[in-house]
Amino acid sequence: MFHEIRLRNDDMTVVASPWWIFALAGVYFIVLSTSVLFFLPLLERLITGCLIFCGHLLFGSVWKFWGMRKLYRRWRRNHWLSW
């Protein structure tokens, strides 16, 4: 069943190797928070954009799962062996 056993240290190198990406994300959040402090209308636009993005993401994933469910039902009807 398991072909390979790896230690957790191997997984940590994959996560910790792109350290500069996490550093850029931290700097981005610091700059974003200070700009929201000084420009309050920016907060409204950020929240609106986040809500629109989350709505599209949720609707897109529901659409994809609906299609997968439809495909699975068709596969089960055509290829499933009944005992």
Q: Give yes or no for residue 20 having a pLDDT over 60.
A: yes
Whole-model pTM: value is: 0.48
In a domain, 63, yes or no: yes
User: How many separate domains does the chain show?
Assistant: 1
SS (H, E, C) the chain: CCCCCCCHHHHHHHHHCCHHHHHHHHHHHHHHHHHHHHCHHHHHHHHHHHHHHHHHHHHHHHHHHHHHHHHHHHHHHHHCCCC
Work out the average pLDDT over 26-51: 85
Task: Give the per-residue pLDDT at 13.
Answer: 61
Question: Residue 27 belongs to what domain range?
Answer: 8-77
In a domain, 83, yes or no: no
- List CB contacts of 31: < 8 A, sequence separation 6 or more: none
